[in-house]
Structure 1
Amino acid sequence: MLQLRPLDPSCPIECQLAIDAAPVVLVNVFTLDLADEAKFLEVWHDDAAFMKQQPGFISTQLHRALGEHPAYMNYAVWESTAHFRAAFSHPAFRSSLAAYPSSVTASPHIFQKVAVPGICAS
């Protein structure tokens, strides 16, 4: 089963889900054993297909770290934390977490886009 390791222990994903914001970006970094990579990708695919069907889902993209040791980063855009909260707490999604290999650790964190004049659009 997937293990959760907060990116910021002072405000883990459960804390962030209680904050209403829109739009939001979920960034989730996964680490795992090389032997579990194929199974991880299979389960992640199923979870992403589920999330894609949920209200408020905009897009997602999975990235693999360079190098031989598998690490992945998922970037998912949601209309709001309320939409992501509903999908994240859905019983079908929660039960799917047991399908991940035991070596998988996830560090999910929710962000909002920041405007920086002349550099980043709002």
Structure 2
Amino acid sequence: MSLLRPLDPSFPIERQIAIEAGPVVLVNVVTLDKADEQTFLKIWQDDAAFMKRQPGFISTQLHRALGESPTYLNYAVWESTAHYRAAFGHPEFRAKLPTYPSSVVASPHLFQKVAVPNICVV
């Protein structure tokens, strides 16, 4: 992957994974050149299959932006930051990152559910 660009530059993913919390949702917005789309999808599929086998993984879903923009949003649910941290730092996963096309820019961020009275629950 050519570049990680934090959604919040003051609190990048490297700082987020140090916080003990759970469950957590990874939201990752990915932009890339249209010519690299099929390569991206194949590598992402392989990475998702790897993550699916990791302890603490709950689910994932990939979304594509409408229209011509090759922008993707992936979210993945993990039991805890500790589980995500272990998977994200796993040597097998880290070794695959350079295989992504150079046009790929990923913006990962971790979230937790928020309870809002009469709207949503934790």
Place the TM-score, normalised by the shorter chain, in its bin: over 0.9
2-structure distance, mates of 1:120, 1:40? 34
For structure 2, the residue ranges without an aligned partner over 5 or more in a row are none
2-structure distance, mates of 1:33, 1:68? 11
Residue deviations 1:96-120, cap 9 Å, x none? 1011000000000000000001101
Aligned to 1:108: 108
Instruction: Give the superposition deviation at 1:12.
Output: 0.2
Residue deviations 1:69-109, cap 9 Å, x none? 20000010000000000000001001110110000000000
Give the TM-score taking structure 1 as reference length.
0.98
Instruction: Give the superposition deviation at 1:2.
Output: 3.0
Residue deviations 1:14-57, cap 9 Å, x none? 00000000100000000000000000000000000000000000
Give the TM-score taking structure 2 as reference length.
0.98
Aligned to 2:60: 60
SS of the equivalent of 1:25 reads strand
Aligned to 2:97: 97
The answer to whether residue 39 in structure 2 is matched with residue 39 in structure 1 is: yes
- Give the aligned residue type for 2:9: P
What is the identity percentage for the equivalent residue pairs of Structure 1 and Structure 2? 75
4+ runs deviating over 2 angstroms: none
RMSD over equivalenced CA pairs, Å: 0.6
For structure 1, the residue ranges without an aligned partner over 5 or more in a row are none
Aligned to 1:20: 20
* Aligned residue pair count: 122
- Give the aligned residue type for 1:12: P
